[in-house]
Every structure is written in structure tokens, then in C-alpha cells.
Amino acid sequence: MTSGRDFRTIGVVGLGTMGAGIAEVFARNGYDVVGIELAEDSLERGRQHVEHSTGRAVRRGKLSEEDQAALIDRIRFSTTLEDVKSCDLVVEAVVERLLVKQELLRRLDDIVAPDAVLATNTSSLSITEIATATGRPGRVVGLHFFNPAPVQDLIEIIGTS
């Protein structure tokens, strides 16, 4: 019998609608999150996605203003991929193109610790094929969050085959 993993810091690479929602979900559940985007303008849009989504939750009475501020404070926004180095789990939420996802996982494989878990948020590509870009494909999983991630209480977990 194996014991479960204890994740403390989660990386999310790609802060479009899905990635920002995924970062929010983890931060809402008390995790420290490192949110990565390529450029400052994309990073700012990701931050605005989180602020808008949590602001809507405050207006609906589902989140206090204090909890909103604490949630946002748990997310460190960055344009430096190497900032995920200490993350226990890194979720990529970039464009749905096999070569883009493979290249990103190849880069992440060189950055994170050997026991870190790499995840892809693909909904249509082969997890196994994406994982082949890494030196340790067995540590790659699919985490398919449903849209909108902060509202849906459903995540599909897919292993490699």
C-alpha cells in the first residue's frame, strides 16, 4: 500500500481562462501557487482573470473580501519558467497543440525536482504521447479541469499507458 503525496506548492503554466481558473482552484484550497505566463501583458490578463472571478464570488456571497485577498496573495505571478523549480506539482494549461505541450514538459523536466509531478490539462491529446517528451514519463498525468474550473467540482485524472 502506498501513501499519498503531500503537495505544498503548485505551478500553473499558462494563465488564460483555464490556467487562471486552475490557479484559483488551488489557491482557494490553501496551496501556494506559482502562476507563469510568457509575457507581462499575458501575465496581467491572468491576474485579472483571477481578480474578476474571485470578485464575482465576493459579490455572490461565496467568498469574503478577506478570503479573496488571501487567495490572490497565495498566487505568485511570474514570467520566469524557472520559478516553478520548487513546485511539487506543475500543471500546464497552454494551447492545445502536441508539440507546444511536449516542448514545455521537456523544459519543465529539466527544471523541477525528479519527484515532482508534471500534469497536462489537455482534453483531447494523448497523455502518453505528451509524456514521451520527458525523461520520466511515469510522473506525467493528465488533470482535465472542466470549465469554469473555479465553479466545476469535477477533475478528470488520466495516467499514462
53-98 pLDDT, tens digit per residue, is 999 999 999 999 999 999 999 999 999 999 999 999 999 999 999 9
Side-chain half-sphere CA neighbours of 127 within 13 A: 22
User: What is the pLDDT at residue 3?
Assistant: 57
Query: Sign of torsion, CA 107 109 110 112?
Result: positive
pLDDT at residue 149, as a whole number: 83
- pLDDT value for 151: 78
HEC string of 91-159? EECCCCCHHHHHHHHHHHHHHCCCCCEEEECCCCCCHHHHHCCCCCHHHEEEEEECCCCCCCCCEEEEC
Those residues of the chain that have pLDDT short of 50 are 1
Radius of gyration of the chain (CA): 15
The predicted structure's pLDDT at residue 85: 98
What's residue 80's pLDDT? 98
Backbone angles phi, psi at 100, to 5 degrees: -65, -45
C-alpha cell at 149: 474550473
pTM: 0.93
pLDDT at residue 1 in the model:
42
Question: What DSSP string runs through 34-49?
Answer: EEE-SSHHHHHHHHHH
Residue 63 C-alpha cell reads as: 467568498
Q: Which fold has domain 9-158?
A: Rossmann fold (3.40.50)
